[in-house]
Amino acid sequence: MKADSAQLAQPDEALERLAIDTIRTLAMDAVQKANSGHPGTPMAMAPVAYTLWRDFVRYDPDTPDWPNRDRFVLSVGHASMLLYAVLHLALVKEIDPDGKPTGRPAVGLDDIKQFRQLGSKTPGHPEYRMTTGVETTTGPLGQGCGNSVGMAIAERALASHFNRDGFKLFDHNIYVLCGDGDMMEGVSSEAASLAGHLALSNLCWIYDSNHISIEGSTELAFTEDVGKRFEGYGWNVIQVDDANDTRAVARAIAAFRDAHDRPTLIVIRSVIGWGSPRAGSEKAHGEPLGEDNVRATKKAYGWPEGAQFLVPDGVAEAFNAAVAGRGRPAREAWEETLARYRESFPAEAREMDLLRRGKLPSDWQATIPTFPPDAVGLASRDSGGKVLNAIAPHVPLLIGGAADLSPSTKTSLTFQGAGSFGKNDHSGRNMHFGVREHAMGSIANGMALSYLRSYTGTFLVFADYMRAPIRLAAIMELPVVFVFTHDSIGVGEDGPTHQPIEHLATLRAIPGLDTIRPGDANEVAAAWKVALSHSNEPTALILSRQAIPTLDRRKYASADALEKGGYILGDAERGAPEIILIGTGSELPMVVAAHEKLASEGVRSRVVSLPSWFLFEKQADAYRESVFPDAVRARLAVEQGGSMGWDRYVGHDGGTITMKTFGASAPLAKLQEKFGFTVDNICAVARDLIEKNK
């Protein structure tokens, strides 16, 4: 549909033009000074961003972490100077990681002058935690779109959980600026489909349809009717013919706010680098304009050609007055409501305080089970489900689900009242993401950015589909829990396509991600404790499909030692060990059995459980030396995954029993025999290593 002709407040047109051109020239100057960046989209979409923030975004520049603020997500992260210029002109104040004001601007003019420079608050793409006012790290196209769906879900969940009659604490909107690249990436399609299904009417994507990408015109590869696609998703679609028509832009956003039954896509036609001699070219999109073109563009704007980083008197003050004039009274009214809420609902108010600080209730570990020794045991996906359902009733906003695999991943919340989050019921704790792994990860990040404790579930082999959001969770230091089951050739008959080989190594390679592969049910319990104790790291929990014996912890070390990442599970009875046997996951009990067989033959071995390399590397040198004494050179790691990375623990003199090929379709016992994962083979390799190191 076209934006309607509703009458809106008419701003001072001269001041409006001055402010818009200030955004444009700041972007040009910053990119030119850095000799790097993308000036085109900030120039073209300056009128849209200006109108959105001046007239609609509910935001208090003095309190940028107010929980019920509207969120603005710049999914076109390469257009970062647009966001930095807006934050600068809105006079947003900086807060530190604890939410305390620093007395500095979130983005000062000197910060803009340091665009894309080492240590600046204005990196090439917006970075969460680095710059106040940046709601999420964007860069990989489509991720901001996915995050926004998670934020919209979170608003609905928070409103359902906390709002009461006469106490509306959560009712904010999420605005996203996205582009052709976002629309080409599959993650945005997955996310938009789910948003339409859930009728998230608090979500508005503003699509800059400029028909330009890095390679040139989108006619090269992208000619679909995006609006019709989104109508098929169940979105309200509004067309605006000219990004410079701020009245039409305002009418479109007003129409979004009047729509209460579905999300809204506003398709805005723009000319990239508007006003530039290179307008409409890929050069305006992806490169500095050049000094001569900058001067010529400023001349076209009626701007002083030689002026750099010019903010005319009164522009920032007027913009701040508009944003704060709407946002500050709303924030003050919210705080008054919260004060009354504390009196009527003190327990819920305390719970909200914990969420805002990223803390969990004091009793969240109270009912975590301890599992008795069992020679047959449980698949760690099964024990994982039991532990999750023991914890979740004590963590009310622990919300998650699987990519249509919860019966297999055991990630459903099954306790009384857990329910499902759906179009007409936002109180449910189970998310149904559908077969959308990529969007699932991105949405979970958005949920975590809005106070929820989110988790996801799928098979480990499908971590490939989720790598981008997992990596971004680590960059943003979000405590999302990514549950991966069916973690090895133990998948059996499903064959090589479903048997992960390289996946553990690729997850362990992500800085800041705690990848934990527990070796029995009690290690699973300890792993969930660790995962939810993290406040600034995501966790990948790696769980088995097949049963794993539950070790006798009266005979072997407590699983609580998992918090150190690796620990001595069992040791030689007399004297120093001749060999160290290392295991994780489903192979750990197999290693224990080999240890016991070797002991019966008079061979002294030590068993080390090493479920988390991430946590183990954080331990003091003395502790790591106590687990892996340098004097013991014979070491053997056993894991049904690739060998990459194990050299750091087994050294040049040790060895591994790992996968060197893809798997095969066969019953598990046949696969274990074929690939050497048997007690007899572990013992044989161990003896060879001992002999080699004599």
Q: 26-43: per-residue pLDDT in tens?
A: 999 999 999 998 888 999
Closest CA to 159 of 431, 475, 426, 429: 426
Handedness of CA 369, 372, 375, 376 (dihedral sign): negative
Residue 274 — very low, low, confident or very high, per pLDDT cuts 50/70/90?
A: low
Question: pLDDT at position 8, please?
Answer: 41
- Supply the mean pLDDT for the chain: 94
C-alpha 83/C-alpha 144 separation (Å) is 14
Q: Please compute, for residue 396, the number of CA atoms within 13 A of its CA located in the half-sphere on the CB side.
A: 15
DSSP 418: -
Spell out a b/e string for 556-583, using b for 16 or more CB atoms within 10 Å of the CB, else e. bbebebbebbbbbbbbbeeeebbbbbbb
| pLDDT surpassing 50 at residue 275 | yes
Per residue in 428-470, pLDDT (tens digit) is 999 999 999 999 999 999 999 999 999 999 999 999 999 999 9
- Cβ atoms of 278 and 284 within 8 Å: the answer is yes
User: What are the phi and psi torsion angles at 209 (to 5°)?
Assistant: -95, 85
User: What are the phi and psi torsion angles at 105 (to 5°)?
Assistant: -70, 150
DSSP 619: S
Task: Give start and end residues of each alpha helix (H) in 547-644.
Answer: 588-600, 613-616, 621-627
Tell me the catalytic residues: 437
C-alpha 208/C-alpha 227 separation (Å) is 12
C-alpha 660/C-alpha 456 separation (Å) is 29
* % of the chain surpassing 90 pLDDT: 90
Do strands 398-402 and 216-217 pair parallel, antiparallel, or not at all (unpaired)? unpaired
Residue 129 — very low, low, confident or very high, per pLDDT cuts 50/70/90?
A: very high
C-alpha 298/C-alpha 309 separation (Å) is 12
- Cβ atoms of 133 and 55 within 8 Å: the answer is no
Spell out a b/e string for 419-458, using b for 16 or more CB atoms within 10 Å of the CB, else e. eebeeeebebbbbbbbebbbbbbbbbbbbbbbbbbbbbbb
Residue 339 — very low, low, confident or very high, per pLDDT cuts 50/70/90?
A: very high
Lowest-confidence pick of 216-230, 236-250, 283-297, 383-397: 283-297
Stretch 566-595: mean pLDDT: 97
Lowest-confidence pick of 34-38, 147-151, 615-619: 34-38
The three-state secondary structure class of 585 is helix
Q: Could you tell me which residues are beta bridge partners of residue 582?
A: 608, 637
User: What are the phi and psi torsion angles at 499 (to 5°)?
Assistant: -105, 105
User: What are the phi and psi torsion angles at 453 (to 5°)?
Assistant: -95, 100
- Cβ atoms of 531 and 411 within 8 Å: the answer is no
Stretch 545-552: mean pLDDT: 98
Stretch 10-21: mean pLDDT: 86
User: What are the phi and psi torsion angles at 177 (to 5°)?
Assistant: -105, 120
The three-state secondary structure class of 164 is strand
* Cα-to-chain-centroid distance, residue 648: 29
Question: pLDDT at position 2, please?
Answer: 43
| pLDDT surpassing 50 at residue 9 | no
The contacts of residue 379 (CB under 8 Å, 6+ apart) are 543, 544, 545, 546, 547, 548
| pLDDT surpassing 50 at residue 689 | yes
C-alpha 630/C-alpha 638 separation (Å) is 20
C-alpha 139/C-alpha 144 separation (Å) is 8
- Cβ atoms of 507 and 520 within 8 Å: the answer is no
Question: pLDDT at position 208, please?
Answer: 94
User: What are the phi and psi torsion angles at 475 (to 5°)?
Assistant: -60, -40
Tokens of 12: 């001072």
Per residue in 476-518, pLDDT (tens digit) is 999 999 999 999 999 999 999 999 999 999 999 999 999 999 9
C-alpha 586/C-alpha 580 separation (Å) is 18
- Cβ atoms of 276 and 40 within 8 Å: the answer is yes
C-alpha 297/C-alpha 39 separation (Å) is 12
| pLDDT surpassing 70 at residue 280 | no
Question: pLDDT at position 179, please?
Answer: 95
Question: pLDDT at position 273, please?
Answer: 59
Q: Could you tell me which residues are beta bridge partners of residue 208?
A: 179, 268
Give the chain's domains with CATH numbers. Answer: 15-331 (3.40.50.970), 374-549 (3.40.50.970), 558-692 (3.40.50.920)
Stretch 142-151: mean pLDDT: 98
Question: pLDDT at position 210, please?
Answer: 83
| pLDDT surpassing 90 at residue 422 | yes
Residue at 395: amino acid letter:
V
| pLDDT surpassing 80 at residue 608 | yes
C-alpha 172/C-alpha 200 separation (Å) is 12
Tokens of 411: 């990630």
- Give the Cα-Cα-Cα angle 363, 369, 374 (nearest 5 degrees): 165
160 C-beta neighbours (distance < 10 Å), count:
14
Per residue in 620-670, pLDDT (tens digit) is 999 999 999 999 999 999 999 999 999 999 999 999 999 999 999 999 999
Tokens of 469: 């959001």
Tokens of 21: 């051109």
* % of the chain surpassing 70 pLDDT: 96
Tokens of 168: 């509306």
Residue 231 — very low, low, confident or very high, per pLDDT cuts 50/70/90?
A: very high
C-alpha 628/C-alpha 633 separation (Å) is 9
Angle between helices 437-448 and 467-476 (to 10 degrees): 20
Q: Please compute, for residue 101, the number of CA atoms within 13 A of its CA located in the half-sphere on the CB side.
A: 10
Terminal C-alpha separation, the chain? 80
| pLDDT surpassing 70 at residue 7 | no
Question: pLDDT at position 290, please?
Answer: 87
C-alpha 538/C-alpha 526 separation (Å) is 16
| pLDDT surpassing 50 at residue 329 | yes
Question: pLDDT at position 368, please?
Answer: 97
Question: pLDDT at position 276, please?
Answer: 55
Question: pLDDT at position 39, please?
Answer: 87
223 C-beta neighbours (distance < 10 Å), count:
9
Do strands 374-379 and 174-179 pair parallel, antiparallel, or not at all (unpaired)? unpaired
Question: pLDDT at position 289, please?
Answer: 83
375: left (phi over 0), alpha (psi -120 to 50) or beta: alpha
| pLDDT surpassing 80 at residue 291 | yes
What ranges make up the beta strands (E) of 56-211?
Answer: 71-74, 93-95, 101-105, 174-179, 203-209
Question: pLDDT at position 285, please?
Answer: 53
Per residue in 191-212, pLDDT (tens digit) is 999 999 999 999 999 999 987 7
| pLDDT surpassing 80 at residue 598 | yes
For 572-575, which contacts have Cβ atoms below 8 Å and span 24 or more sequence positions?
A: 572/599, 572/604, 572/605, 572/606, 573/599, 573/604, 574/604, 575/604
